[in-house]
Amino acid sequence: MELEQAKKRINELTKELHHYNYAYYMEDKSLIPDHEFDLLLKELIDLEAQFPNLKRTDSPTQRVGGTINKAFETVQHSTRMLSLGNTYSEEDLLEFDNRVAKGLEGQPYEYFCELKFDGVAISLQYENDVLVRAVTRGDGTKGDDITDNARTIRSIPLKINSNLDKLEVRGEVFMPKTVFEELNLEREEAGEDLYANARNTASGSLKMMDSAQVAKRKLDCYLYMLLAEGHDSHEEAIHNLEQWGFNVSPTYQKCGNIQEVLDYIHSWSEKRHELPVETDGIVIKVNNLDQQELLGFTAKTPKWAISYKYKSENACTKLNAVTYQVGRTGAITPVAELEPVLLAGTTVKRASLHNANEIERLDLHEGDFVFVEKGGEIIPKVTSVDLSQRSGKSKAITYITHCPACNTELVRKEGEASHYCPNTEACPPQIKGRIEHFIHRNAMNIDSLGERTISLLYEKGWLNKPSDLYKLTKEQLLELEGFKELSATNLLTGIERSKQAPFEAVLFGLGIRYVGKTVAEKLIEHFRNIDALMAAGFDELVGVQEIGDRIAESVIAYFSEQTNREEIERLKSAGLQFVTTANEKQSNILADKTFVVSGVFTNYSRDELKNTIKANGGKVVSSISKKLDYLIAGDKMGPSKKEKAEKLEVRIISEEDFESLLLK
């Protein structure tokens, strides 16, 4: 394709994809099938790769991420991003209204009310209608430049239609409730600690170094403030934002007086739980911008705005029993079985008690009346006991000593809060749980196999480990209740298709504790095949970025079990993928050389630098010793590593020195 043809096609695709994205994310309309959208996006990606000078700053390909930030630049805000004064009291709102009336000296005024979303404040800057910079709130005076990460948020427009030379918009980035729940479910299946709440998870996601990983977090954003000339009221500014293509929550309302404000607060007390994002209150602003300026600011907050926060909702109900769940890793989770109670818009019947320490902290007794809250508005938890309703004859709840499923004595590792059932080979919930994890969509993706079928096959004695799936026959399946010729054929087809799943999916599917999808990808990027991973020692494992002591110990423990190694051999024989072909070796120029990488670099992320070393035959380790050949020192390198390297006379080289090694 010629240059002019490519430019024309890139512009056509950019316009078309922006149109489809806007319809899907802003109007909830799917104008074309996903497959067709993906084909158009791939065409644009290929054209931009072929003609990189034609790639536009507002290209829809920015949505998928892929940019690596070694460090986030600190940026001064044009106008301070102030926090608001908070209150939980309606009396305080009446006092606020009195102060506004006094400050405006008899002028008529009105308020503008918006829900306060529990997310991360962000400032978006546009020049000639194109997004050029996104900055976090930081300390209110300056924040971090996270432009590459913000571009992956599909509800943030890369291009708008304001026809202004410059403008700034502020809003709140958040993780939708459903996305947060899915993310925690994946972490639970990987044996990882759950994230505490969606707000902190959104904040951590925005500070990830790899924008492709941010894109996977499916963040969203509501905009609520416009910094630009040409409007007289906050209401007018909001309507401009809507007209220009920004995602504004439709929950706002203009109120003529403080009583209407209180009515608005009451109306959203329960309704807010139906929204896709967590909320913790209402923001009340004087609507007229001239009046805002007249009222002014205190040292920390505007005098023309205030935040009303809803009190955390809790409910008191009877604890009927404590039951215990066995996870696929053997972890025992105690669960409070409650008398059903309405809380935050839903009926709560069960709540997690986490572990034995929590039961002891609460001093739970049989038949107690307990207070229940929804942590982060999502996960029910028992917070305390109403001692005034406790029976004098009730007995303290004692944590179980044996597995509720197989009666094996439980173990509790030093330094860990949870109890575990060590009977990995014969405990039914563990066996079935591992197989359910193995067929998960992020693993082998055998969607025609469900929990009920797994139970039926287990009861028949035909399915005790993942490799048994690849020995199933149509005759066996037809013996199961509900299976006909077509359903049996579909299941066998799905099992056969799973053999093409990439190595990272297989490794995730093995269910090694703490090895989630992202950790599996990191391990494979480093070790390339299962044999190298099984042979890895502790030092080599913790040398991989994001692999800490706990993960390394878990991987070593898993592969030290002969039954696990035998299962891997069976899966190999069945035809599963245990080697990755991505990023093949480039040369042996660094053969027999060992490297430690420390600091921040200009041309590489640390992962890219390590991959380049390995792709050219070198080895990356985490600790400095006399045997080390090179310490590659970047900006902000830890001083202790430098001191140790100098003491042991290890050669310290720069990023440029390393690139020279590759040219020898």
pLDDT for 160-185, tens place per residue? 989 899 999 999 999 998 888 888 87
Is 298 a residue whose pLDDT tops 90? no
Q: Classify 144 as helix, strand or coil.
A: strand
Is 24 a residue whose pLDDT tops 80? no
Phi-psi region of 226 (alpha: psi -120 to 50; beta: other; left: phi over 0): beta
Cβ atoms < 10 Å from Cβ of 554: 18
Q: Which of 40-54, 249-263, 583-597 has the lowest mean pLDDT?
A: 583-597
Backbone dihedral angles phi then psi of residue 7, each to the nearest 5 degrees? -60, -45
Give the Cα separation of 513 and 552 in Å (integer).
10
- Reading the block at residue 134, the tokens are 């996104």
Question: Could you say which DSSP state residue 272 is in?
Answer: G
Total domain count for the chain? Answer: 6
Backbone dihedral angles phi then psi of residue 25, each to the nearest 5 degrees? -90, -20
Cβ atoms < 10 Å from Cβ of 143: 22
Q: Classify 355 as helix, strand or coil.
A: coil
Q: Is residue 586 assigned to a domain?
A: no
- Categorize the per-residue pLDDT at 570 as very low, low, confident or very high, splitting at 50, 70 and 90: very high
pLDDT for 611-644, tens place per residue? 788 888 888 877 788 889 999 998 877 677 788 8
Which CATH number goes with the domain that contains 15?
1.10.287.610
Based on the domain organization, do 139 and 275 belong to the same domain?
yes
Which CATH number goes with the domain that contains 105?
3.30.470.30
- Where is the domain boundary, 309, 340, 375? 309
Q: Quick one: pLDDT at residue 70? A: 63
The three-point CA angle 451-456-459 to 5° equals: 120
Give the Cα separation of 439 and 34 in Å (integer).
24
pLDDT for 431-472, tens place per residue? 999 999 999 888 999 988 989 999 999 999 999 999 999 999
Based on the domain organization, do 260 and 345 belong to the same domain?
no
Q: Which of 41-45, 59-63, 86-90, 405-409 has the highest mean pLDDT?
A: 405-409
End-to-end CA, the chain = 37
Q: Nearest Cα to 528, choosing from 510, 509, 506, 504? A: 504
- Reading the block at residue 82, the tokens are 């102030």
Question: Could you say which DSSP state residue 285 is in?
Answer: E
pLDDT for 244-269, tens place per residue? 999 999 999 999 999 999 999 999 98
Q: Is residue 256 assigned to a domain?
A: yes
Provide mean pLDDT across the span 585-589: 79
Based on the domain organization, do 390 and 439 belong to the same domain?
no
- Reading the block at residue 451, the tokens are 């929990």
Q: Tell me how many helices (H) and strands (E) the chain has.
A: 24, 20
- Enumerate the active-site residues: 116
Q: Is residue 415 assigned to a domain?
A: yes
Q: Is residue 71 assigned to a domain?
A: no
- Reading the block at residue 149, the tokens are 């990460």
Based on the domain organization, do 489 and 551 belong to the same domain?
no
Based on the domain organization, do 570 and 464 belong to the same domain?
no
Question: Could you say which DSSP state residue 462 is in?
Answer: S
Q: Which of 135-139, 164-168, 340-344, 468-472 has the lowest mean pLDDT?
A: 340-344
Q: Is residue 399 assigned to a domain?
A: yes
Give the Cα separation of 557 and 423 in Å (integer).
15
Based on the domain organization, do 290 and 156 belong to the same domain?
yes
- Reading the block at residue 588, the tokens are 């042996």
The three-point CA angle 382-386-391 to 5° equals: 115
Contacts of 639 (CB under 8 A, 6+ apart): none
Based on the domain organization, do 160 and 291 belong to the same domain?
yes
Q: Is residue 649 assigned to a domain?
A: yes
Backbone dihedral angles phi then psi of residue 281, each to the nearest 5 degrees? 165, -165
Phi-psi region of 43 (alpha: psi -120 to 50; beta: other; left: phi over 0): alpha
Provide mean pLDDT across the span 342-365: 87
- Where is the domain boundary, 244, 278, 309? 309
| Mean per-residue pLDDT of the chain | 89
- Categorize the per-residue pLDDT at 377 as very low, low, confident or very high, splitting at 50, 70 and 90: very low
- Categorize the per-residue pLDDT at 322 as very low, low, confident or very high, splitting at 50, 70 and 90: very high
Based on the domain organization, do 18 and 108 belong to the same domain?
no
Residue type, 544: V
Q: Quick one: pLDDT at residue 599? A: 82
Task: Quote the pTM value.
Answer: 0.59
Based on the domain organization, do 38 and 139 belong to the same domain?
no
Distances (CA, A) of 653 to 551, 587, 592, 631, 634: 30, 21, 17, 6, 9
Residue type, 271: K
pLDDT for 382-440, tens place per residue? 989 999 999 888 899 999 999 999 999 999 987 788 899 999 999 999 999 999 999 98
- Categorize the per-residue pLDDT at 28 as very low, low, confident or very high, splitting at 50, 70 and 90: low
Distances (CA, A) of 592 to 566, 615, 645, 648: 32, 13, 19, 19
Which CATH number goes with the domain that contains 386?
2.40.50.140
- The more confident residue out of 24 and 362 is 362
Q: Nearest Cα to 608, choosing from 74, 64, 66, 215? A: 66
- Contact predicate 577/506, CB 8 Å: yes
Provide mean pLDDT across the span 512-527: 88
Looking at the chain, the whole-number percentage of residues with pLDDT higher than 90 is: 54
Residue listed under structure tokens 């670099």: 601
Distance, C-alpha 623 to centroid of its chain:
30
Based on the domain organization, do 466 and 557 belong to the same domain?
no
Looking at the chain, the whole-number percentage of residues with pLDDT higher than 70 is: 95
- Contact predicate 338/370, CB 8 Å: yes
Which CATH number goes with the domain that contains 483?
1.10.150.20
Q: Classify 630 as helix, strand or coil.
A: strand
Distances (CA, A) of 267 to 256, 276, 287, 345: 16, 17, 20, 13
Q: Go through 509-533 and write b for each residue having 16 or more CB atoms within 10 A of its CB, e for each that does not.
A: bbbbbbbbbbbbbbbbbbbbebeeb
Q: Classify 351 as helix, strand or coil.
A: strand
Q: Is residue 231 assigned to a domain?
A: yes
- Helix/strand/coil (H/E/C) assignment for every residue in 83-125: CCCEECCHHHHHHHHHHHHHHCCCCCCCEEEEEEECCEEEEEE
Q: Is residue 528 assigned to a domain?
A: yes
- Where is the domain boundary, 542, 574, 606? 574
Domain that holds residue 552: 503-574
Based on the domain organization, do 148 and 291 belong to the same domain?
yes
Residue type, 523: L
Based on the domain organization, do 396 and 263 belong to the same domain?
no
